[in-house]
């Protein structure tokens, strides 16, 4: 089943994101290589593809896992959590309707 992992950043998270980004991306690339990643990306803090120093306010990952518990465990092990990037992470089932 698909699960949405919706993360909200702490204020001024950009320096923390930059530090942990390589490890964060490696985990997403592993999901992609397994054919389980549907979508992933950050939420820019301003209305721009490149928010510059404004940074980001959170992230969204939609991926396939065996269970909600597996999705939660994967989310809990994100390097952004250890780096203090995320203030809150919500994991919930996701049903794709379109496209």
- pLDDT tens, position by position, 14-33: 999 999 999 999 999 999 99
pLDDT by residue (tens digit) across 29-67? 999 999 999 999 999 999 999 999 999 999 999 999 999
Give pTM, 2 decimals. 0.95
As to burial, measured by CB atoms within 10 angstroms (0-12 exposed, 13-18 middle, 19+ buried), residue 32 is middle
Q: Residue 11 — very low, low, confident or very high, per pLDDT cuts 50/70/90?
A: very high
Provide φ and ψ at 43, rounded to 5°: -100, 110
DSSP lists the bridge partners of residue 39 as 62
């Amino acid at each position: 089943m698909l699960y949405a992992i919706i993360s909200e950043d702490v204020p001024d998270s950009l320096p923390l994101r930059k530090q942990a980004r390589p490890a964060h991306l490696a985990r997403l690339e592993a999901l992609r290589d397994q054919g389980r990643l549907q979508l992933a990306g950050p939420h820019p803090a301003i209305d721009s593809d490149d928010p510059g120093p404004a940074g980001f306010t959170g992230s969204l990952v939609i991926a396939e896992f065996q269970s909600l518990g597996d999705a939660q465990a994967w989310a809990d092990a994100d390097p952004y959590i250890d780096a203090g990037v995320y203030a809150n992470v919500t994991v919930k089932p996701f049903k794709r309707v379109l496209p």
